[in-house]
Structure formats: structure tokens, C-alpha cells
Amino acid sequence: MYADQVFCFTPKGDVVKLPRGATPLDFAYAIHTRIGDSCVGAKVDAIRVPLWTRLKNGQSVEILTAEGQRPQSTWIDIVATGRAKTAIRRSLREEDRERFTKLGRELVRVAFDHVSKRATDKALSTAAKQLGLSNTTELLARVGSAELTAREVLQTVYPDLAEKKGEEIDAARAVVGLKPSQTFRRALCCQPVPGERIVGISYRGKGVMIHAIDCGALAEFEDEPDRWVDLHWQEGRHPAVHAISLDLTIANDSGVLGRICTVIGEQKANISDLVFIDRKPDFYRLIVDVELRDSEHLHAVMLALEADSDVAGVHRHRDLERRP
């Protein structure tokens, strides 16, 4: 019956039930949020162990605390229980409220702009009230910390304008302006995504290659106007299948890469490839391929990464040497 659970003891002999895979941090938060927040170490069966140790049945766990200790962002990857994750996120949100509020405001602005609306204070106040939040600052902080999406805020205020989940555009019909028999591919050099201005270059027997309107590779075709095809993206919600490359510089420290991947995942984006291009004692530089819906989605992912204290730089990677 209890194959998916472990039962551990406090120093006083009280039993604490946890899911299998739980750590001393989960144990601490199961006792009290204050204990979890101030945890600096743990002893299992009187032996000091790392906080990421997986607990086993029958072990006695003692939590070591210190005044002034605050949860670390890497703890999210260590704990297994929803209670611990929620408490850690809440503490991090309070500590970084100003940063999350600024990020949340920008994400909401982009979402509202996408449907030609303004994210006014009144609109945000209305959304906060409808969502049961105390004020606009709380609303924006939750959006910035990925506990609430900008689309959910938009849907609360303008339910008829927000695109419904599931009503996605067929990826094979994402572009308008092609002939019925023509197929298309996205150019690897500029990796255009829905929401950006595009142009097509036709290839005999190979269909049309789509480029961003500012792609440097288009200079090669200036003397061949008959090959240019006027195109634009279908309006609506596109599936997250459009891969783009991000050039990231991150701190070389324990847990940083895992947290960066988590940040991308929290924005509902999928990492399809990751390549290190430079390794230094204090930083890593890498190219991350991420599958996105559109330019708004790209903007949200980059903002979330820029807001992370261990990200020294992030920009879109374009390589004119990558040709079809």
C-alpha cells in the first residue's frame, strides 16, 4: 500500500509521511514553513547529509536551522512535494517581488498588445480582483514568477479576445500567400517565427524558403525579383514547434544550468538541443535551441532569462552560414 511513500521520524519520535524521493527539505517544510525557510542542513540518523539526499523508511531526521537563512532558487529542483515547492516559490517571490513585478508587467503588456489592448491599471486591478488577488502588484509578481500566465490575465479581462487552448493553427498551413502546390520551410539562418514580417524565396522543385524580412541572406537575391514571394503568417495561436537558437552566457556554478532549463520550461517552451561553445572558470556560453509558438513567446522566454541573476547575457543567435 505504501510503496510510493516513506515514513520518517522527528527527533521526538513523531512520524512524518512523505512521497518516495522526498528530501530533508521536504521533511522540513512538512513540519512547518518557517522550519523549511530557515533550513541550513540536516542530519539523518545523526549523520550530517546534503539537502538533496533521498530519505528512506524508518530514518530519523533532524533539521538544522539558522536565523536569517532564506530559501535558495536551486531548492526547487531538490524538493519533491508540492507543499515545499509552493512555499519556496512564495518566499522567492516575496524576496524578488520588485524584479518579478517588473517582469510580470512587461509580459502582461506584450499579451495585451497582441490583441490591440492596453494593460491599464484599471484592467489589471479588475483582473486581480477576479482572480482573488489582493492587488495589482501581487498579480504582476505572480506573472513574473510563472505562477500565473499573462494569457490567463488577458482572458480574465477579455475572455472573447484571448485565444482558447486547443484552437491551434495547423503548422503545415501556418503561412499565407503560397500557391496550393507550394510547400515551405523556415530558413535556418534567421529562423523566423509567427508574428515577424517574412518573405519567401522560391526554389525550383524545392518549394519556398521563408526568411525574416531583415535577414542578411536576402541580399543574395536582390537581382532575382521573380523568386521573391510575398508572405505573412496566419493570424491566431500557433503550436510551439518553431525552433530558434538562443546564445546564453551563464554563471559556472552548481545548479545554474538546471535552473535555466527550468525557467525555459516554466514558459511552456521545449528545449530541443543544447551545445556548449565556451567554458571558463566563472562562466559558460552555450547555444540553446528552443521550440516556440511566436514572437510573443520568444519575448517572454528571453525576458524570463534576463531576469535571472545568473544569466549574464542572452540574445537571439542567427548564423548566415547556416543555409538550407
Nearest in space to 288 (alpha carbons), one of 300, 306, 270, 307: 270
Q: How far is residue 43's CA from residue 27's CA, in Å, rounded to a whole number?
A: 11
Is residue 307 predicted with pLDDT exceeding 70? yes
pLDDT at 117 over 90: no
Over residues 216-224, the mean pLDDT reads: 90
Distances (CA, A) of 226 to 108, 144, 184, 203: 42, 47, 17, 11
Tens-place pLDDT, residues 255-266: 888 989 998 988
pLDDT of residue 300: 85
With residues binned 3-state (H G I as helix, E B as strand, rest as coil), the percentages for the chain, rounded to 5, are 35, 25, 40
For residue 235, the model assigns a pLDDT of 83
- Any residues with CB less than 8 A from the CB of 182 and at least 6 apart, and which? 202, 207, 208
Cα dihedral: 122, 103, 189, 291 (round 10): -90
Model confidence, pTM: 0.51
pLDDT band of 305, cuts 50, 70, 90: confident
Whole-angstrom distance, CA of residue 277 vs CA of residue 40: 35
Q: Could you tell me what percent of the chain has a pLDDT over 90?
A: 46
DSSP class per residue in 166-226: T-BPPGGG-EES--TT--EEE-TTT---TTS-EEEEEETTTEEEEEETT-GGGGGGTT-GG
Radius of gyration of the chain (CA): 24
Nearest to 192 by CA among 232, 163, 228, 224: 232
